[in-house]
Structure 1
Amino acid sequence: MDALVMCGGRGTRLDAPVEKPLVDICGRPMLDRVAAALRDSSVESVRAVTSPHTPNTRDRAADLGLDPIEAPGDGYVSDLGFALARVSRPAVTVVSDLPLVAPEHVDAVVAAADGGAATACVPVELKRELGASVDDALVFDHEGTAVCPTGLGVVGPADADGETDAETNTDTDTNTDADTNTDSTMYLSTDTRLALNVNRPTDIALAEDRCE
């Protein structure tokens, strides 16, 4: 199975001196951390989806052997569709601002998808307890619990019209709504490592307190 690291967003809310995927968490760029987790998982290949907004990230991805896909940079959903047309499906997708993602998380979501689509989510309450940033536009109800996507998931096979059955990940830079397509399996986790997307400066300290 192919894996795509989505790293073409502008990252304006983080206000970092480097491109968002290159922000260090415990001495390693977030892109390096996410790529390492994917490579230690069951996925077969890892590619980075960059854009004109992230030229240095593209260079770093190439250095890491991630074979960058240069998307137009028109937003998460558009860039995801562009990248999906260039890999086989189902495919794992993960945002580059999830620096504590681990191989076991990836494998659990792949298993939950079972050849289809799956979305990894965490309870909003967990993020608030941690003090992590929450994008209210991404919050939705799942069986009476307010949850939000982590940015890790599996995009299922294309249907007869060439559309994916669920594009369930959301890049928190684009403020897109979570797709709650019933064809997508929900993988709900309370692991704090999946609750820490680095979107704001305060999220960096939270992640560094928990990195291994």
Structure 2
Amino acid sequence: MIGIVMAGGKGTRMNLDDEKLLLKYEKPIILHVVDSLKNSNLFSKILAITSTNSPKTKKLLEENNIEIFNTPGIGYVEDLNLVLKSIDDAVLITSGDLPLLDENIIQKIVNQCESHKTWTSILVTKNFLSSLGLESDYPVNFNDQICHYTGISLVNSKKITSLENLEENCIIIDDKRIAFNLNSKQDYDLLSTT
């Protein structure tokens, strides 16, 4: 299995002077995410997906000997599609802005997913997200509940020719380690209270 960390976004919603993934939570958040994947001992390779939108993040990753896959930075779906076309293996995709991610929750996610499914997205419920003081702009209705994407998916890239019209499987895991992604300055401020 290959671990993919999406690290090429602009982070425009944060309105920061610097790149979002370089924000520190003991260490730069992007390194925390990569280390969590490494420490899970589940991946034959870990790839950080970068673009021209995140040159300082790319530089930090290279300085830490993390393998890079550079994309044009057109958009999340387009960049991910480009990466998945080059991989013929099972893949765990995570956003690079999950500061509480750890190896235990990664192991739990991988163990809960069915490998024969093409695409499994990990969701948290809106109620759980609200209980943490967090919000998300991308609700989805699943099992008669309002849920939100965590930015984590398990994908069997062998079965994918395009990201269009995929049958998406979903699993709800209400856990702050995957619910807490940084989309605003308020989210980053809340991080210090966890």
Q: TM-score, normalised by structure 1?
A: 0.83
Residue 207 of structure 1 corresponds to 191
Query: For the aligned residues, what is the CA RMSD?
Result: 1.9
Residue 2 of structure 2 corresponds to 2
Looking at structure 1, the residues matched to 190 and 67 of structure 2 have their Cα atoms a distance apart, in angstroms, of 30
Q: Deviation digits for residues 57-108 of structure 1, max 9, x if unmatched?
A: 1111112222111101000000001111233321110001111111122222
Corresponding position: 1:141 with 2:125: no
Looking at structure 1, the residues matched to 83 and 161 of structure 2 have their Cα atoms a distance apart, in angstroms, of 14
Structural mapping, 1:171-210, within 5 Å: 181-182=167-168, 184=169, 186-210=170-194
Q: Structure 1, unaligned stretches of length 5 or more? A: 168-180
Q: Given that residues 85 and 157 in structure 2 are in contact (C-alpha distance below 8 angstroms), is that contact kept between their aligned partners in structure 1?
A: no
Q: Deviation digits for residues 88-134 of structure 1, max 9, x if unmatched?
A: 32111000111111112222222233323321110011111211131
Structure with bigger strand share is 2
Residue identity (%): 25
Q: TM-score, normalised by structure 2?
A: 0.90
Q: Structure 2, unaligned stretches of length 5 or more? A: none
CA pair 82-3 structure 1, distance change in 2 beyond 3 A? same
Q: Given that residues 112 and 118 in structure 1 are in contact (C-alpha distance below 8 angstroms), is that contact kept between their aligned partners in structure 2?
A: no
Q: Deviation digits for residues 22-41 of structure 1, max 9, x if unmatched?
A: 1112x311101100110011
CA pair 71-23 structure 1, distance change in 2 beyond 3 A? same
> Secondary structure of 1:53's match?
coil
Deviation at 1:166, TM superposition (A): 8.0
CA pair 166-30 structure 1, distance change in 2 beyond 3 A? farther
Q: Given that residues 32 and 99 in structure 2 are in contact (C-alpha distance below 8 angstroms), is that contact kept between their aligned partners in structure 1?
A: yes
Corresponding position: 1:104 with 2:128: no
Q: Given that residues 14 and 184 in structure 2 are in contact (C-alpha distance below 8 angstroms), is that contact kept between their aligned partners in structure 1?
A: yes
Looking at structure 2, the residues matched to 24 and 31 of structure 1 have their Cα atoms a distance apart, in angstroms, of 9
Aligned residues: 191
Find the partner of 2:126 among 109, 124, 127: 124
> Secondary structure of 1:209's match?
coil
Residue 150 of structure 2 corresponds to 150
Corresponding position: 1:16 with 2:13: no
Looking at structure 2, the residues matched to 80 and 101 of structure 1 have their Cα atoms a distance apart, in angstroms, of 20
